[in-house]
Each structure stands twice: as C-alpha cells, then as structure tokens.
Amino acid sequence: MGVEVVVEGLSKSFGPQTIWRDVSLNLPQGEISVLLGPSGTGKSVFLKSLVGLLKPDEGKVVINGTDICTCSEKDLYEVRKLFGVLFQDGALFGSMNLYDNIAFPLREHTRKSETEVRNVVLEKMEMVGLIGAEDKLPGEISGGMKKRAGLARALVLDPEILLFDEPDSGLDPVRTAVQNQLIVDLNAQIDATFLIVTHDINTARTVPDNIGMLYRRNLVMFGPREVLLTSDEPVVVQFLNGRPDGPIGMSEEKDTALVEAELAKHGRPQVPAMMPQLEVSPGLPDRSAVHRRKERVLRQLRSLNPTAQEEILKSLTPEELALYGFKSPATGSWPQQQAAPQQQAAPQQQAAPQQFANPQQPPQQFAQQPQQAAPQQPAPQQFAQQQAQPQQAQQQRPSPHPRQQEQEPVWPGGLQADEEPAGGRRRWFGRKRGEQ
Ligand SMILES: Nc1ncnc2c1ncn2[C@@H]1O[C@H](COP(=O)(O)OP(=O)(O)OP(=O)(O)O)[C@@H](O)[C@H]1O
C-alpha cells in the first residue's frame, strides 16, 4: 500500500523570486491527487521538492516519519526508494529498445536473473498496454507510447509513491482519456499514492480523489475533489472553464479593475457541473483507496462547504448513507440538519455550526486547515527502487534568474545529467550493480 506524504509550511524561492510559500497538504496513502495551477506557478518545483531534488527554504516533507528536507543523505536515499516518477517525455534511452529501457532499473539495482527480469518487464508492459512493442526504439513510437514505456519503467521496482509530471502533455483528447483510465486502473492494482501535475481540465475533473491549486505563490486549495470542483472562487472557475477573462492573465496576475471590466463584458463564468469520477475497468480489483477516502472525507464532511458536502453525499449508495449515519437524500434531509456519528468525527473536524453553514468560507481555509491525518500505519515494506531524472526538461525551462543548482541526484537508480551512456550505459548514482 502507498504511503502518506505530509507537507508542512513548505516555502521555496530562487534568489529574489518566491515560487510558493507556506504550502501545507497531505497526500493520503493510496489516493490519487492532482495539482493544478497556471504555468510558472511552481508545480514542477513542488514535485522536485517532494523527492528532495530541490531543497525548500522552510518547511517539512515527512514520509514514513522522515523529514526529507532535513534528513541525512543516507535517509534521503532510503526514502527515494519509495518513489517512481513519470517525466513528461518518458526520459527513455534513445538507443535502447523498450524492453531494455524498462528492464534497466532491474538490471542495475537488483540481483534478479534474466528470467525474473523478463517476467517483471512483461508484466509491467502488459499493465500499460505495450505487449508486442518490446523491440521498438523510442524514436519509432508515438508520444503516448513513450509515456507508457516511461510509466512501465517507473513501475518495475514497485514504487509506493508515483509522481506524474504532466502525463497528458502532447496527447490528443482520446489518448488522454485512455491514459486517464490507465492511471485509475493502475492505482487499483498497486494501491500506491499518486500525485499528478496537469493542465488538463478533464483529467482534473475525472481522475483524482483530491485536488489542489497553486496560484500567486500560494496553495489556494487542497482537499477532496468535490471542494475545488464546486468552488466559486474566481481563479478556480476561470481555470476550470479555460477562459481568458478572470484573474489569471498572461503574466499570471491581472489588475483587479481589468478583471472586473472583462467579467462585466463577457459575463461571470459558471461553476461547471461535477463530472463523475472514473471507475476502474471491469475485471480489475476495486480501488482500496476509494473506501479509505470515503471514511476520511466523511470524517471531515462538516468542515466542507455545503455544495461539496452535497456532492459527496450524492456519491454514496443508500446502504453507505445508512452505514455512516446519514439519511437518504431522497428524504431531502442532508446532514446539515443531522449530527454526524460521534465515533466518525475527529475533534478538530467538529466545526462550529456557523462555519459549517457558511457558504462564503474563503477557499484559503481549506488549504490552511490541518488535513485529517490518516492514522499512522506501520512502516511498509521497503521496495527496491528505480529510475531516470528529467534533466533535459530542467535545462530547457526558461528562468529570468540565474538557475539555482538542484541537488545532485543521489538517487537509487537516478541518472546523472549526462545523456546517453557510452556503449549503452549511463553513469548511475546509488547502489552498485549487484547490490540489493
Ligand atoms: N532550478 C531552478 N533555478 C531557478 N529557477 C527555477 C528553477 N527551476 C524552476 N525555476 C523557476 O521557477 C518557476 C516555476 O517553475 P515550474 O517549472 O515549477 O512551473 P510550473 O508551474 O511547473 O510551470 P508549467 O506549468 O509551465 O510547467 C519558473 O519561473 C522557473 O523558471
């Protein structure tokens, strides 16, 4: 099962440029979370901070009881074993066929025999729908296939946390929909904690259990999907509607008077209707996270805005409503009129009635509210590790400031910046070949 990632008061600047400040959120174990935000708001910087590739100026990232911002290199190395990362272009080795690309972390970091390697590689290739493409070179396949090959490689060492950096970039809407289904199906099969950075609104509306949004150097929201998707916060509504008029502009921040003039001219965009969350494909196991999430979200239900509460309750079956002590919506009696079952409500979530009833609750409160920490689980079995770094992507990103040196990726299975290895090998950091 995936592990919880706890982020507390995280801030990051590059020289005088503040990227974001005081970011706090929990990625609940095994759940799928999405991070949205206009371009340049620091989503990739956030992902890199989670794996310790960038050091935040303040705050904590706690994984399995270890704060990776302050821990030793040795501990950081251990924590990184829990991660799999899918970079935008798949970060494949151009001179290796897909089979060898996917087998690479296993050959470098485990003692598996070639027969065992083959079994794992074919299993992961099947999971991502690439069986039959073993002999293809990255240059011979489509962008979508490259991403799936990168995903298979991210999976071979059984990560407990999987990070996706814009998995839908460059894909057409059909391929994006197929990939979204694949992500949900994978989550059901491996039950790891997923965080997806995306600009794709459809992905945000249909895939995650939780959604957050970075804007103007702050985390405006993070919480159950129903909170952001029913929010009438102008920046959220503009983003979800993909409209040019609103607070987000080319340079991110617009003058308030200009925003008001635009909205007066074009009308205020509506909060789009909720879309149902994607379900697992037939024949696969249920997502365990869905059940855990249900209990977690119902414990914090009373602290959410009324529309979000209503959407959450609508998603429950009559049996679940009865089980958790809510009346059926058919009776017209929503839980605003009911006391939540005593044993379900954590003390901090027993919100004062006026807060509970207040539809104007500013969204910042959701992000700042301490998230309901899932009960501490026993440390899960440490998985062996993997994989490649997005060095090319980092080098291409324009910056008005001199680039800050990112931490040397001392990563089990991580790559040094240098491209293709001489004679088909790159220099890898971390364990030597043959070490377990
Ligand atoms: N290593 C670095 N040194 C200096 N500045 C950096 C570094 N990495 C990122 N930045 C800057 O941080 C800001 C946020 O970049 P980031 O790539 O995280 O944004 P993003 O939200 O992921 O954008 P997009 O959605 O366009 O991919 C940008 O101004 C970028 O230039």
**ipTM, interface predicted TM-score of the complex:** 0.98
CA of 152 from ligand 1 middle (Å) equals 27
pLDDT higher than 60, residue 216:
yes
CB-based contact 106:112 (threshold 8 Å): yes
CA of 164 from ligand 1 middle (Å) equals 16
- pLDDT tier at 259, thresholds 50, 70, 90: low
pLDDT digits (tens, 9 = 90+) for 13-39: 999 999 999 999 999 999 999 999 888
The residue to mutate among 10, 11, 18, 19, having the most atoms of ligand 1 within 8 angstroms of its beta carbon, is 19
- pLDDT tier at 250, thresholds 50, 70, 90: low
Whole-number Cα distances in Å, 370 to 110, 349, 366: 40, 10, 8
CA of 39 from ligand 1 middle (Å) equals 9
Strands (E) across 159-247 are located at 161-165, 193-197, 210-215, 218-224
Query: Taking Cα atoms as reference points, which of 166, 174, 275, 187 lies closest to residue 226?
Result: 275
CA of 247 from ligand 1 middle (Å) equals 20
pLDDT higher than 50, residue 401:
no
Residue nearest to atom 3 of ligand 1 (CA): 403
**Among 265-269, 287-291, 346-350, whose mean pLDDT is lowest?**
346-350
**Mean pLDDT of the region 394-415:** 41
Phi first, then psi, for residue 15 (nearest 5°) are 60, -130
CA of 218 from ligand 1 middle (Å) equals 14
Atom of ligand 1 nearest to the CA of 394: 8
Higher pLDDT, 33 or 348: 33
Atom of ligand 1 nearest to the CA of 404: 3
**Residues whose CB falls within 8 Å of the CB of residue 71, separated by 6 or more in sequence, listed in order:** 79
Residue nearest to atom 25 of ligand 1 (CA): 39
CA of 390 from ligand 1 middle (Å) equals 13
Rounded percentage of the chain residues whose pLDDT exceeds 90: 46
CA of 397 from ligand 1 middle (Å) equals 7
Atom of ligand 1 nearest to the CA of 406: 1
Question: Count of CB atoms within 10 A of residue 395's CB?
Answer: 9
- pLDDT tier at 410, thresholds 50, 70, 90: very low
* Protein residues with CB under 6 Å of any ligand 1 atom: 14, 19, 37, 39-45, 397, 399, 401, 403-404, 406
Average pLDDT value for the chain: 76
Given the structure tokens 């040196």, which residue do they identify?
405
- The pLDDT, as a whole number, for residue 143 is 87
Exposure class string for 200-230: b at 16+ Cβ within 10 A, else e: beebbbbbbbbbbbbbebbbbbbbbbbbbbb
**Mean pLDDT of the region 403-422:** 39
The rounded distance, in Å, linking the Cα atoms of 31 and 36 is: 16
DSSP string over 397-420: S--SSPPPPPPP---TTPBPS--S
Task: Note if the pTM is more than 0.90.
Answer: no
pLDDT digits (tens, 9 = 90+) for 135-151: 999 999 988 899 999 99
Higher pLDDT, 402 or 260: 260
CB-based contact 80:385 (threshold 8 Å): yes
**Mean pLDDT of the region 254-271:** 65
Atom of ligand 1 nearest to the CA of 199: 25
pLDDT higher than 50, residue 189:
yes
Whole-number Cα distances in Å, 412 to 74, 76, 85, 119, 324: 11, 10, 12, 22, 44
pLDDT higher than 90, residue 405:
no
CA of 17 from ligand 1 middle (Å) equals 10
**Among 81-95, 221-235, 369-383, whose mean pLDDT is lowest?**
369-383
Q: What is the dihedral of CA 182, 184, 189, 192, to 10 degrees?
A: 120
Atom of ligand 1 nearest to the CA of 41: 21
Atom of ligand 1 nearest to the CA of 399: 31
**Mean pLDDT of the region 215-240:** 87
Residue nearest to atom 8 of ligand 1 (CA): 45
What's the full length of the chain, in residues? 436
**Mean pLDDT of the region 169-175:** 87
- The pLDDT, as a whole number, for residue 273 is 81
CA of 310 from ligand 1 middle (Å) equals 37
Residue nearest to atom 30 of ligand 1 (CA): 399
CA of 123 from ligand 1 middle (Å) equals 35
- The pLDDT, as a whole number, for residue 326 is 76
The rounded distance, in Å, linking the Cα atoms of 425 and 193 is: 31
**Mean pLDDT of the region 103-113:** 91
Write down the architecture of domain 5-223+379-424 according to CATH: 3-Layer(aba) Sandwich (3.40)
